Structures are given as C-alpha cells and as structure tokens.
Structure 1
Amino acid sequence: MSTDRTTTAGDRIELRGLRIFGHHGVFDFEKRDGQEFVVDLTLWTDFSAAAKSDDIADTVHYGELAEQVVAIVAGKPRDLIETVVSTIADEVMADTRIQAVEVVLHKPFAPIPHTFEDVRVVTSRRREPEEQR
C-alpha cells in the first residue's frame, strides 16, 4: 500500500464534518478532559455495481464507515493526532473495495495560545494496482 498523495480517478464517497469527542494530545489535561475532533474522509471506490443493483451490499456503507471512524477517535487515547489519522486510513483501507482514501483530522480546540482557525493533519493511502481486487 502506498502513502503517496495521488489518488485514483473515478467514483468517490465523501464523509465530511464527522464530530467525535476524543482524548488525544500530549498534555495530561487533553487526555483527562478530552475535546471535539472533526473528521473528513474521502474514499475512492468503484460503485458501478451498486448503481446497477441499487443494493447497499454492493458499495461501501458510509454509516458503517462512520461508526468505524468514531470507534477509533473515541477510543484509545493517543499523544499525536498523526497516529489517530494514520490508524483511520489504515483501517479504512482494510476494505479491499476501496482503492484510495484521504483522511483529514481537525483539532479545532488545540491548546495553542494564539488565535487560530483550525489545526488539521491529512494523510492518504492508495492501493497499488496489483493489490486491487
């Protein structure tokens, strides 16, 4: 699996603004008190079979995908959001129907003593052609 930033052209599913309470950060108070994180997810997959069959079983179920992401972000506390975003990407790519994914993890309430709009980390994964179904 490649971590290069290029993605596959074609069909995609986007899940934007998924808000999740988690306990990630390098400071003790971040792990103790927690804060809201926001996830944006884009995945590339061929959904022509689903379009033809009109059957949820023939596509990536974005409700189940959201639950998977929530379980990671609301789960085990991590020091770095880079670890969290990478875990999300790796778990999503476990579904072999997914050709590529880009995950953005926002930490809008990061403990920075200056005015800022957002902190976000971004990662992507792309399946090599020989890895695709």
Structure 2
Amino acid sequence: MDRIELRGLRGYGYHGVLPEEKAAGQEFSVDITCWLPLTRTDDLTQTVNYAELAELAYGVLTGPGFDLIETVATSIADAALEAFPLMDAIEVTVHKPHAPIPRDFADVAVTARRTR
C-alpha cells in the first residue's frame, strides 16, 4: 500500500496530568503516516492534501488540553480518517520530549493506529 508521511509537525499544547503542565504548556510534535492508493493523475482531490492534514493535526495538538497524549494521538487519527475518505489507514505518533520524568531521556511518544 502507498503512503504519505508528515514528520515533525510542532505545536504548543497544554496536555498532561499535572497542574503545571496544564498551566504552562509545552511543545509537542506529531508524526503521521497515511496509507492510501496513490493516484496516477495529477489531481489533488484524489489524494490526501497534506497541508489540510497538517492543519487538522495542529488544531488538535494546540486545542483544548487532554490529560493523556494517548488521547491526543487517537483524536488526530480518528479526525483524519473522517476528514479524508480516501485513506485506508493512519498511524499518528505524538512526541512529548519534555514530559515530567525525573530521569535523563530523549523523548516520550505514543502511537495510535487506525484502519477502516
């Protein structure tokens, strides 16, 4: 199956369980992979417009806060499947590089996968 990928979309959000995460917020990033049959024509209506996909994901990422990044990832995945009927499946990974973990780490990420 063919795919379209959007990597490293960044946005400032207020997701987290701790009160300080909800108050101060932090930067998150999102990676999205969409599976769909790619068109052999040069017609934008026959594919996923990745600019529209980015706006959809950014809106969820920077919109009302959720406690869990799991909810952020599934909200983006579900909304994208609804918005883009040509899509067969989607994988959304939300990265939270500044999670409140008292250890040295590079990133925390959650991935949601959805299929039709």
Tell me which stretches of 4 or more aligned residues in structure 1 moved more than 6 Å: none
Shift of 1:58: 1.7
Match of 2:85 in 1: 96
Q: CA deviation at 1:47?
A: 1.8
Q: What number of residue pairs does the alignment pair up?
A: 115
Give matches, 1:1-133, under 5 Å. Answer: 10-48=1-39, 51-52=40-41, 54-94=42-82, 95-127=84-116
- Structure 2 unaligned spans of 5+: none
CA contact (8 A) 2:46 2:86 kept: no
TM (normalized to structure 2)? 0.96
Cα distance in 2 between the residues matched to 1:125 and 1:35: 26
Residue identity opposite 2:31 in structure 1: D
Name the counterpart of 1:131. none
Q: Which has the higher contact order (CA 8 A, sep 6+)?
A: 1
Give 5+ residue unaligned stretches, structure 1.
1-9, 128-133
Give the CA deviation at 1:126: 1.0
Q: Which amino acid aligns with 1:24?
A: H
Identity rate, percent: 50
Matches of 1:20 and 1:122, distance apart in 2:
17
Larger Rg over CA atoms: 1
Q: Match for 2:59: what amino acid?
A: A
Compute the displacement of 1:91 (Å).
0.5
